[in-house]
Structures are given as C-alpha cells and as structure tokens.
Amino acid sequence: MTAESAELLRWYDSHARVLPWRVGPAERAAGMRPDPYRVWLSEVMLQQTTVAAVKAYFLRFTELWPNVAALAGAEDDVVMGEWAGLGYYARARNLLACARIVVRNHGGRFPDTREGLLTLPGVGDYTAAAIAAIAFDRPETVVDGNVERVMARFHAVSTPLPKAKAELTALAAGLTSGVRPGDYAQAVMDLGATICTPRNPACGLCPWRDPCRARALGIAAELPRKAAKAAKPTRLGTVWIARRADGAWLTERRPDKGLLGGMLGWPGTGWAEIAPDDTPPLQAKWQAAGEVRHTFTHFHLRLKVMAAEVDREVESGVGGFGRLNPGDLPTVMRKAHVMALTALENPENAGENRVGFA
C-alpha cells in the first residue's frame, strides 16, 4: 500500500458519505460486509446516473425485491415499470437477465471474482471490478468517470479522453490498495464526487493536495481534457394519445431493442429529421394538444402530441386499451401524457400547450 492510498483511507474514515447501499468504514471494521445483491443493484443503477436520482429507486427495488431470487421471479413489465424514469432502459432488461442467470446457473450467489462477474449481462469492466472490490474485498482497480478525473489530475495527464483511458487505468492500478480494497475503491470515487469535482475542485480540502501534479501546475480544473462532442440533431415525430370513455388508454409496448426498448409508449410515427407522415391509429376527433421537447443523449426531439376521447367500442390494430399507471412511462412519454390530459380537460386551449419549454 502506498503512502497516498493510506492517506486516502484515513480521509475516507472520517468523510465517507452515508448511502443506502453502503457499509461504511466503521461497520466494515466491525466485520460487516455488504450484500453482493445490493452492491450489484446499486452499481447498475449508478451507471451514468447520479446518486441523488438512484436513491429512491434503490429503496423501492430492495423493498419490492429484497434478494436476487425475488427479483429473478418478478415479471418483466413490472420491473420495466419500476425502472421507468431512471433512463438507459437496457440496464433494466440486463438486470432481470442477470438475476435469472445468477439464480439458475450460480445457485443464487453472485460470482466472487472480477472474471466471473464479467460474464454477467450488464456487468462490464467497471461494474465487475466494483462488485469484486466492494462486496468481496478483492484488490481490483475500479475506473469510472471519477477515477479517470482524479488520476488525470493527480498525474497531470493531458491526453484527452477517451484516448487516455488505458493510461489512466494503469495509473489507478498503481495506487490501488491491497488493504481494505472495498473501502479504497469507494474512497477514490467519493473523492472524485465530493472534492475532485469536474468544476471548481476543492483542492484545499483534498487529502492528495500535496502529491497532486495538476494542483502544483495550477491546471487541476482544466483536466481531464476531452474530445469534442458531435452536435445533436433535432428529430420530429407525432404520438396519438387516445382515452376511452371508461378511462382506459391506448398504449403499446416498444420493441426490446433500441431507444426506450421494452418500455410502454404511445402509438405514433418514427422520429426523424424530416417530419414523418402521421396517420392516426384510429379514427376519432383528434385535437392538437401541443408539442413536447425532450433531449436524449444524441438528439433533440420535438414530439407533436395529438389527443382524443374515443367511444368504448373503438378497437385499434396497433395496441390495446388498458388501465395506465403513468409512473410506468418513460419520461418523454409521461410528458406527452400530461400534455394530452391537459388538452382533454381544456379543449378550448388545445394547441397552446408546451412541455419542455422554459
């Protein structure tokens, strides 16, 4: 163990954040170990997602499904509905697939090595190392966005990401502690999340302020460098939102692959830079409810929302009418639903509504 990693562990002992999935340093010292199921679940939820956003989902999932066997036995649509709003929905599909593999092929126990964990769906280099270190105290090197930033500054690496990834991984491995590896892994990430932040790093409070090369050079806030990102195009589309007299809504399940895969949605056009032809899924007195603006990772969407009340007898070929829990909808579809509801309640204002406009 290096002097630096020892210093970081001392910092962590007094500054570790309290998180629902975390076994803190004092509890670990008392012999407690985290539940691999909870570590895995939290790490998957935390992929490209903030701690603030994950907390409520983690508590809800562990309440509904306290162990991997319970989750493996859940119905797909229920899990997708509970994941709604958290984003990156392939994670939810992989989560279920992984739970079922762990139960069926591993006797309900997660593999306890990085290599074994890597075979699971939805578990990549980072997550495998994180579970191995945190749940099984193996001295694996975790490299997430926090660690990349901390290492780029600590060693003053000016090579832009993602090209610098391999170099930063090697530098991180050089600092990884063989003592208390689970605490160390969380300590580096906590350092990046609370001190060595992307903007305005709090170098004065950093346990690594002395050995940090970027701080010595006065360029900590400039690192890590990143390659320029492509501009986001704008795509257009239309959704048709029909409410039957008995309160049922016409929804459809999206295909498993692709954007919002496996999630509930509204019948509508595809989304393209040239407005697609929009033909309603059924004949009704459609009103233009307004336009939803929503930004995905790689494009902006302007979604025209059409709404209608239909008779109980109406049938559609594209999906089914049924009871709707709006919380099961991904966010963009929930925005469209809110807009349709507003139009149906206030038909005189139809077309004036905007969602996603400041």
Partner DNA sequence: GAGTCGTGGAC
Partner DNA sequence: TGTCCAAGACT
Q: How near is the Cβ of 215 to DNA at its closest, in Å?
A: 18
Number of residues located near DNA, criterion CB under 7 A: 61
Question: Mask: binding to DNA, 153-172, rule CB under 7 A, as x and -?
Answer: ---------xx---------
Task: List, in order, residues 6 or more apart from 329 with CB less than 8 Å away.
Answer: 84, 263, 264, 265, 337
Catalytic site includes residue 43? yes
Least gap, CB of 262 to DNA (angstroms): 9
Q: Which of residues 281-300 bind DNA (CB under 7 A)?
A: 294-298
Q: How far apart are CA 314 and CA 121, in angstroms?
A: 42
Is position 124 an interface residue for DNA (rule: CB under 7 A)? yes
Q: Could you tell me which of 79, 207, 71, 93 has the C-alpha nearest to residue 150?
A: 207
Placement of tokens 């195009």 in the chain: 233
Q: Could you give the CA distance from residue 246 to residue 267 in angstroms, rounded to a whole number?
A: 19
Which of 4, 27, 43, 313 is flagged as catalytic?
A: 43
Intra-chain end-to-end CA distance of the chain, in Å: 51
Which C-beta is closer to DNA: that of 129 or that of 308? 129
Residue from the set 3, 18, 274, 358 that interacts with DNA by CB under 7 A: 358
**Residue 274 lies near DNA (rule: CB under 7 A):** no
Please report, as residue ranges, which positions from 19 to 78 form the binding site for DNA (by CB under 7 A): 19, 22, 42-43, 46-53
Pairwise CA distance, residues 30 & 183, whole Å: 13
Beta carbon of residue 308, minimum distance to DNA (angstroms, whole number) = 24
Question: Counting beta carbons within 10 angstroms of the beta carbon of residue 115, is it exposed (0 to 12), middle (13 to 18) or buried (19 or more)?
Answer: exposed
**Interface residues with DNA (CB under 7 A)?**
19, 22, 42-43, 46-53, 85-90, 94, 121-128, 130, 144-146, 149, 162-163, 186, 189-190, 192-193, 198-200, 226, 229-232, 258-261, 294-298, 330-332, 357-358
List residues with catalytic annotation. 43
